[in-house]
Amino acid sequence: MQSKVADLIVILGTGGTIAGKAAQANDNVGYKAGEIGVEALIAGVPGLSTFRLEAQQVAQLDSKDMDFQTWRRLALAVEAQLTRDEVRGVLITHGTDTIEETAYFLHRVLAPRKPVVLTAAMRPATALQLDGPQNMLDAAHLVNDAAAAGVMVCVAGQVYAADQVQKAHSYRVDAFRGRDGTVLAQVEEGQVRWLSQALPGPLAIGTAALPTEGAAWPRIEIVLNHANADGRLVRLLVHEGVEGLVVAGTGNGTLSAALEQALLDAQAAGVQVLRSTRCDGGPVAENGRGLPSAGALSPVKARVELLLRLLGTPPQS
């Protein structure tokens, strides 16, 4: 007997602007995120009726308030759905503010072979001109595409890899870009046109490596290099018991002499440090001065990477 082809798409809702409401339809700023449930979002996108769907509300929050416990619940929910033979893939509705961090977290923890696609909106569900419904429909077509695999973000018709996507504009509907301009695919009228292929993901570290519900996670902070950076903030954070530091350096991860020395002292005291860049693109090369590079990871993704390292997982190769 021939086995049935997986065709079920599971949509996991986490809130965000895509599920937001404003008092007036012309208000795209003064809204409250995470007000509409995922079932209602699905019902508002007629094109989704052509897909076989299931939905689950994992969280209902503004993604600026995303936290580690929600990440854990989301990872467990995604993992559970991907083990089902009938599930083609998972679509996650999310807020735009931290979608790039959640995507990278799921990429490192699960490294799924099936597609896991995150989508979002820059305008609330009550806006005059919506972007959320089209983004959800595009994301469903992407999940359903035979070539789709791994964690991706699909917004404004563009598809980005989890380790490359970043929010680059505060307000525009097309607010996202790929680091160094990388785009995996475009979704055009329900058709996915692949432009490049994502690099193989890391080995899955698995959800068992995550702290249990309610347990403490490592404390990691991001500091910035700038004119007259004196390293005082680093010393204060070390005094407060920080376990990891990501520094967003200038250019190729360059640092003022005082900030660099403070970070070297922190590292010598047992604090793990990664050196990234505040530039929008480009990797950080190793410079032999003792502070390891975060490679091509943005500061927020380097923070996720360092978080997972402190939980005892191997670094991304």
- Mind listing the pLDDT tens digit for each residue in 261-311? 999 999 999 999 999 999 999 999 999 999 999 999 999 999 999 999 999
* Domains 8-194 and 218-310 alike in fold: yes
End-to-end CA, the chain: 41
- Mind listing the pLDDT tens digit for each residue in 213-232? 999 999 999 999 999 999 99
User: What's the fold here for domain 8-194?
Assistant: Rossmann fold (3.40.50)
- How much of the chain, in percent, has pLDDT values that exceed 90? 86
Q: What are the residues facing 150 on neighbouring strands? A: 115
User: What is the pLDDT confidence band of residue 314, given thresholds at 50, 70 and 90?
Assistant: low
Mean pLDDT computed over 66-70: 97
Q: What is the pLDDT of residue 196?
A: 87
> Distance between CA 61 and CA 69 in Å, rounded?
12
> Distance between CA 18 and CA 180 in Å, rounded?
27
> Distance between CA 91 and CA 115 in Å, rounded?
8
Q: What is the pLDDT of residue 294?
A: 97
Do residues 190 and 141 lie in contact, with contact meaning Cβ atoms separated by under 8 Å? yes
Q: What is the pLDDT of residue 2?
A: 40
- Mind listing the pLDDT tens digit for each residue in 245-261? 999 999 999 999 999 99
Q: What is the pLDDT of residue 4?
A: 47
pTM, two decimals, is 0.94
* Catalytic-labelled residue, pool 14, 17, 126, 277: 17
Q: What is the pLDDT of residue 201?
A: 73
Q: What is the pLDDT of residue 286?
A: 92
Closest among 149, 163, 9, 200 to 90, alpha carbons compared: 9
User: What is the pLDDT confidence band of residue 1, given thresholds at 50, 70 and 90?
Assistant: very low
The dihedrals phi and psi of 69, each to the nearest 5 degrees, come to -65, -35
User: What is the pLDDT confidence band of residue 203, given thresholds at 50, 70 and 90?
Assistant: confident
Q: What angle do CA 45, 49, 50 make, to 5 degrees?
A: 125
Q: What are the residues facing 12 on neighbouring strands? A: 56, 92
- Mind listing the pLDDT tens digit for each residue in 84-121? 999 999 999 999 999 999 999 999 999 999 999 999 99
- Mind listing the pLDDT tens digit for each residue in 119-147? 999 999 999 899 999 999 999 999 999 99
Residue 267 backbone zone (phi > 0: left; psi -120 to 50: alpha; other: beta) = alpha
What dotted CATH number matches 218-310? 3.40.50.40
Domain boundaries, the chain: 8-194, 218-310
pLDDT at residue 212 is higher than 80: yes
Residue 119 annotated to the active site? no
- Mind listing the pLDDT tens digit for each residue in 173-188? 999 999 988 999 999 9
The dihedrals phi and psi of 145, each to the nearest 5 degrees, come to -75, 135
> Distance between CA 283 and CA 294 in Å, rounded?
8
Q: What is the pLDDT of residue 45?
A: 96
Q: What is the pLDDT of residue 92?
A: 98
